[in-house]
Structure 1
Amino acid sequence: MSSDVIVTLEGWVGNDPQSFSAGEVSLAKFRLGHTPRRFRRQTGDWENGETQWFTVTAWRQLGAHCVRSIHKGDPVIVRGRLTQRTWQNKAGEDVVSLEVEALSVGHDLSMGISNFVKTVGLGRGDNGQVSRGGQAGQVDAVDVVADWRAPGAEPEKPTALAGGEGPGDSSAA
């Protein structure tokens, strides 16, 4: 049994992820804020609790993907190893910070939509190149449709859009 404390956090990105390197290994760091909300039966209202801030560190490919994919203000879900670090500030006071070494990071789809673009390569040598469309978010619609066909299924012939002529429209005279 592992002694790591694995947590799943929902929150808002507090700053654009910053890219760093530790020797030959790349990483990204960003701050994640989580504000708990509680329903007060006495008043019938929701109240915000105290915001808790976490420093999230994502190593290697995950870090590179965080830098390209998430931004300040995005709602995200982070799963990772929780650690507590004590350090001294400029005034010489001990400060305790909560840090998460991310195992996975993604947008919180209960708050909006997101577009996923798979990167080229499966190995550690992946430099984050986008496999289709040239940049994140640009995917050829034909490729997307093809990806959803059943294995071995023949591609469907295009049909005309309602009210117009187009490929496969047999009503044209």
Structure 2
Amino acid sequence: MKKTRILATLAAATLVAACGVQPTGVVPAGPGPSIRATTGAAVLGGVTLYFVSDGRVIPVTRPTEGFISPEGALMLLLKGPSEGEAAQGLTTFVPPEVGRVEVYSGDPGTIVLPFTVRKLSNQAINQLVCTATAASTAIGRPPAFQRMTVTFPNGDALLQTCKSG
């Protein structure tokens, strides 16, 4: 009986000591990412653009009047984050190039860009693919397997799947 009490007391003391870890207060780490639905009723009247936050490509739904075409969504992406989005720490790796961007449905869908691949990082290409995929899905032309071919004026082409979050 004495052994049992001693063991119980030691077990309780170990739990109370918690291996020397002291409690801490809340540690501020800034705002978390704003991840929203990219299809369905949640985006009715909005367009989903993909920006970069803490090195990750994340969806951001911007309010609009009705649906925006995939080309329109990419043109908004090329303009970069709004003031409010930038204040939340969102940025873009897509250069603000001027030129016509085209999106074609198919298997896979195709994005035709007016600038060369050398100007784009992997995250920038992912921003383009995710934005075009979300906009194509919103208007009922979803690419199969959420993948798109990105083509450039010099003839280069890349096949990429949307990778966000």
- Give the shorter-chain TM-score range: under 0.3
Q: Which has the higher strand share?
A: 1
Task: Output the TM-score relative to the length of structure 1.
Answer: 0.22
Task: Output the TM-score relative to the length of structure 2.
Answer: 0.23
Which structure is richer in relative contact order (CA contacts within 8 A, separation 6 or more)? Answer: 2
